[in-house]
Amino acid sequence: MTTLENATIGDTTEVRRADGKRPPWMEKPNALTQTLKFIVLGVAVAVVIIPFWSVIATSLADQKTINDAGGGMVMWPKGVSFDAYHAVLSGGVVTRAVAISVGVTVVGTLLSLAATAGLAYWLSRPGAFGAKPVLMLVLGAVLFSPGLIPSYLVVKEFHLLDSLWSLILPVLVNAFNVIVMRAFFQELPKELFESAAIDGVGAVTTLTRIVLPLSKAVLAVIGLFYAVAYWNAFFNALLYIQSSDKWPMALVLRTYVVNQTTIGGDSAGEALPPQLPLQMAILVIAIVPILLVYPFLQRHFAKGVMIGAVKG
């Protein structure tokens, strides 16, 4: 069996075999391998980009283009028309739903990050009072779901039905996110906490002034998880929200695209014509906000997804 050696050159360490050659996986790939990689990556990109472009193109297509395509999706609109976006936004239903979803997403994400960071910090401190029983409860929440009926009864007993708080408070803390953030906090240098204790700094100040500034990567990842979950909140809204004027974007999208019915006013429940550009315009409005937020978190996301994968 061939053994490997570590050859240190300057500040770098290079892995070599006993015979002085590098392992096969460290060699430069040949032209065939690079071509295959390019083809695979190109296919993967096309699988992602083409459907999204088709949605945008269909939302901008006029009725003639849709008719020429047999009433289906188009890849390139012959005539660009913003009538679908005007029809969606002029009525106010989608605009109000977007505002509700933005409010729920922003408030919910901030509250969830605060609650998750506080709980994870408490569970990560050695010798914290009651940390072990609570950690067992958190681990149990990962494995077992409370169920639909108990969750509904809890929301009802707290008088949260038909309230936007029913989209935030029942899902305020995610057990998996707590475990991930706790693992990150445990990897921070112990000397930081010892220095803070010597200086007489309290736990809250240590968390806000020392821990959180060093945890931008995990906060970005967990914050993105929470934001996507709140923005796509559909099932909870379907269960807890009865008033259509309080529906978030995900529920309005379902009503327009799946049920093909209007919302509110005298036209509630009235069937809409199968206008594909109208449906695709609503879909674009629902997708774009998350796509706009992701680039600002990307530099932290790559580091954050590696949390706990490597132990130093």
pLDDT in tens, 260-280: 555 544 344 444 444 778 778
Q: Where does the pLDDT of residue 303 fall: very low under 50, low under 70, confident under 90, or very high at 90 and above?
A: low
Q: pLDDT value at position 127?
A: 80
Among 179, 181, 190, 191, residue whose Cα is nearest residue 215: 181
Q: Where are the domains of the chain?
A: 4-81, 87-304
- Percent of the chain at pLDDT > 90 equals 21
**Length of the chain measured in residues:** 312
- Per-residue tokens: 55: 């949605």
Q: pLDDT value at position 104?
A: 94
Query: Which is higher by pLDDT, 238 or 68?
Result: 238
Single pTM value for the model:
0.74
Please give the single-letter amino acid code of residue 103.
G
Q: What is the mean pLDDT of the chain?
A: 79
**Dihedrals φ, ψ of 18, to 5°?**
-65, -25
| Fold adopted by 87-304 | MetI-like fold (1.10.3720)
DSSP secondary structure letter of residue 22 = P
Lowest mean pLDDT among 82-86, 95-99, 300-304: 300-304
Is 7 a residue whose pLDDT tops 60?
Answer: no
Task: Render pLDDT for 117-154 as a digit per residue (tens, 0 to 9).
Answer: 999 999 988 888 888 899 899 888 888 888 888 889 99
Q: Where does the pLDDT of residue 95 fall: very low under 50, low under 70, confident under 90, or very high at 90 and above?
A: confident
Among 242, 245, 239, 228, residue whose Cα is nearest residue 286: 228
Is 16 a residue whose pLDDT tops 80?
Answer: no
- Rounded mean pLDDT, 57-63: 82
Q: pLDDT value at position 296?
A: 72
Query: Which is higher by pLDDT, 259 or 79?
Result: 79
Q: pLDDT value at position 10?
A: 43
Q: Alpha-carbon distance 40 to 16, whole Å?
A: 30
Is 40 a residue whose pLDDT tops 90?
Answer: yes
- Per-residue tokens: 190: 């112990």
Q: Alpha-carbon distance 203 to 248, whole Å?
A: 37
Q: pLDDT value at position 269?
A: 43
Q: pLDDT value at position 312?
A: 47
